């Protein structure tokens, strides 16, 4: 069974700090990786996608992928209270239109 594991948190960081969110996955053949942000009572919103080993930066967000370790992370620099949300890691186990497998999410709280 394909699994995506995340620490449920809450992860508390002070405003301005770097928040580090981690995700591991079980299917070594996974090709595509996504981070979604979900505010309480709202629907998930895509933040980042990453397909190759290494880092991918977009503004204050950096996604890191290590396929050998089956590990993907999301770093949020200069964390703001508005970043407080649940962050969902999603993995596509194969190329093509296989449904994404979602982790349970990590709740992030940025303290002003």
Partner 1 sequence: ETGVTQTPRHLVMGMTNKKSLKCEQHLGHNAMYWYKQSAKKPLELMFVYNFKEQTENNSVPSRFSPECPNSSHLFLHLHTLQPEDSALYLCASSQGQSSQLAETQYFGPGTRLLVL
Residues of this chain, 7-66, that bind partner 1 according to CB under 8 A? 31-32, 34, 36, 41-46, 49, 51
9: buried, middle or exposed (CB in 10 Å: 19+, 13-18, 0-12)?
middle
97 touches partner 1 by CB under 8 A: yes
95 touches partner 1 by CB under 8 A: yes
Closest CA to 106 of 2, 8, 4, 3: 8
Smallest separation (angstroms) from partner 1 to the CB of 81:
22
Q: Are 21 and 90 in contact (CB under 8 A)?
A: no
Angle at Cα 103 formed by Cα 84 and Cα 89, nearest 5°?
60
User: Given the complex with partner 1, which of 15 and 94 has the nearer CB atom?
Assistant: 94
Catalog residues that contact partner 1 under the rule CB under 8 A.
Answer: 31-32, 34, 36, 41-46, 49, 51, 88, 90, 92, 95-100, 102-105
């Amino acid at each position: 069974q394909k699994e995506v594991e995340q620490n449920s948190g809450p992860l508390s960081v002070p405003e301005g700090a770097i928040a580090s969110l981690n995700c591991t996955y079980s299917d070594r053949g996974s090709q595509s990786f996504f981070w979604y942000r979900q505010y309480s009572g709202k629907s998930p919103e895509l933040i980042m996608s990453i397909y190759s080993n290494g880092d991918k930066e977009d503004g204050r967000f950096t996604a890191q992928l290590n396929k050998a370790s089956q590990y993907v992370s999301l770093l949020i620099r200069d964390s703001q209270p508005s970043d407080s949300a649940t962050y969902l890691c999603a993995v596509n186990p194969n190329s093509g239109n296989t449904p994404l497998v979602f982790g349970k999410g990590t709740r992030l709280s940025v303290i002003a």
